[in-house]
Amino acid sequence: MEKNERLEKLSNRISVLVDRDGEVGYELLESVKELNQIIKDENVSTRELFNYPELVSLYKVKYDDDPSDVDNPVNEFFDSTKFSKEMRQVIEEIKTSTHNLTELEARQISAFIKYGVLKREDRNKFSDYVLQQVLRSNYVFSYETLEKSFQNVVDEVLMMVDPGKYCEIVRDLKNGSGEKLSGLKTLTGVKIDKGSVERLYEYGDCDAIETAFHEIAHIYQEIRERKLIGEFYPVDIIKKCNGDFFETLGILKDTVLERAAENGSKYYYDNYSVYSAEKEANIKSKTMLIRYLDTLGLLTHHTEEKLKKEIRNELSRQQEGLRAFNSKFEERDELILENQDDLRQVMIEFPMLRMVYTKDEDGTIREKTKEEIHLEYLDLDDHGEEVTNVYKKLMEQAKGEDKSIMRR
């Protein structure tokens, strides 16, 4: 998302202001007025505002046009959460994971996180620290601080994947059918069931973190597939898959069958244990959890081996080709070719499928042979290592060679 220059300048000014000694209440009130004027002038959405954590708290402030009370709530608010030089030292010490937090520091950190008066970098450090302490069964922070810190951590990952999206914590999260869920990808980001976040706080259960990463992986898939719509050039197709060409191909194959099935949702649930999008999301979320726990200094050998074993199991299921489809149980590629109309439609939407399927003169769609893939590969200029590896694997997976083509 392109940055708003006026919001950027105001955000930077607020960051300096809350670091400064002395009374700053009236200056902050003027900043509230300026923020509201920017929102009005440029039609700024709440979602866009979340890119500037220093401004989120200001957005909620109510003010009088001519405030005369020196104990103004804004003044009181920022005095209680002043980002002092001493707290900057706490941040540096937190990095070492050996700092013993005082009760006052814990209250200050909680206030910083709650009211969003931190620069993004410092907010992330504090939020990681809160999760680290909770996972170590150190309950110096309240559940409310943990919940906000959890949201900050997830929001930071979302910002890297799809800026502007955010995390919501929802009590008794359910889908449209009324089924209870631990997490859900939405138009605005991800929703996580409050119960799983409470278990994170009470028992150090990492399921909420892994679930958030899983739903973010689905957003990543959505963005990746959106980039492929209408893309006809093989090299660009491979590069836009960001190293996940075969995972994307598997998702598109399942898309063909889900659209062709008498009941698409039944196809999804019948094949959930091997469904490509879910397998990839499971693998990515477990990989992300390993990295995150390692960042916090909490990755034990036992936890790492457990997660790696789960990843190996997911990879194994990801390779499974059998699918349940309209009361049949067959190889996925065979079922796809049986549903020519649906395959033809998806191939129009996602030309990526033309890298593995081709249409004969009579209009029948079939899988390409090794030789056809090889000839296509030879026609590509400056294809690079990633493209080369994809084509080598495509040729390995092709079923056979068409001798008539080889004689041409």
pLDDT average, residue stretch 145-152: 94
Instruction: State residue 121's pLDDT score.
Output: 78
User: Are the C-beta atoms of 205 and 199 separated by less than 8 Å?
Assistant: yes
Say which residues have a Cβ less than 8 Å from residue 147's Cβ, sequence separation at least 6: 169, 194, 197, 201
What would you measure as the largest C-alpha separation in the chain, in angstroms?
92
Instruction: State residue 237's pLDDT score.
Output: 95
Q: Is the pLDDT of residue 174 over 80?
A: yes
Please give the Cα distance from 346 to 226 (Å, whole number).
13
To the nearest whole number, what is the mean pLDDT of the chain?
Answer: 84
pLDDT average, residue stretch 165-173: 95
- CA distances to 176, 182, 186, 254, 314 from 272, rounded to whole Å, are 18, 16, 20, 11, 12
HSE-up of residue 331 (Cα within 13 Å, Cβ side) = 3
> Which of 336, 201, 337, 217 minimizes the C-alpha distance to 283?
217
Instruction: State residue 82's pLDDT score.
Output: 47
Least confident of 23-27, 28-32, 167-171, 265-269: 23-27
Residue 14: pLDDT band with limits 50, 70, 90: confident
Tell me which long-range contacts 210-214 makes (C-beta under 8 A, separation of at least 24): 210/285, 210/286, 210/289, 211/182, 211/183, 211/285, 212/150, 212/154, 212/157, 212/167, 212/183, 213/157, 213/284, 213/285, 213/288, 213/289, 213/292, 214/183, 214/281, 214/282, 214/284, 214/285
Residue 53: pLDDT band with limits 50, 70, 90: low
Q: Quick check: pTM over 0.75? A: yes
Backbone angles phi, psi at 399, to 5 degrees: -80, -30
pLDDT average, residue stretch 69-81: 45
pLDDT over 90, % of the chain: 60
Q: Is the pLDDT of residue 194 over 90?
A: yes
Greater confidence, 131 or 79?
A: 131
pLDDT average, residue stretch 166-179: 92
Please give the Cα distance from 406 to 204 (Å, whole number).
61
Tell how strand 189-193 and strand 166-170 pair up: parallel
**pLDDT, tens digit, for every residue of 239-280?**
999 999 999 999 999 999 999 999 999 999 999 999 999 999
User: Are the C-beta atoms of 215 and 185 separated by less than 8 Å?
Assistant: yes
Q: Which residues pair with 358 in a beta bridge?
A: 366
Q: Is the pLDDT of residue 216 over 90?
A: yes
Burial class (CB in 10 A: 0-12, 13-18, 19+), 60: exposed
Please give the Cα distance from 310 to 316 (Å, whole number).
10
Q: Is the pLDDT of residue 302 over 90?
A: yes
HSE-up of residue 365 (Cα within 13 Å, Cβ side) = 21
Tokens of 405: 């083509």
Cα distance between the two ends of the chain: 51
**pLDDT, tens digit, for every residue of 94-134?**
656 566 777 767 776 776 676 665 667 778 888 998 999 99
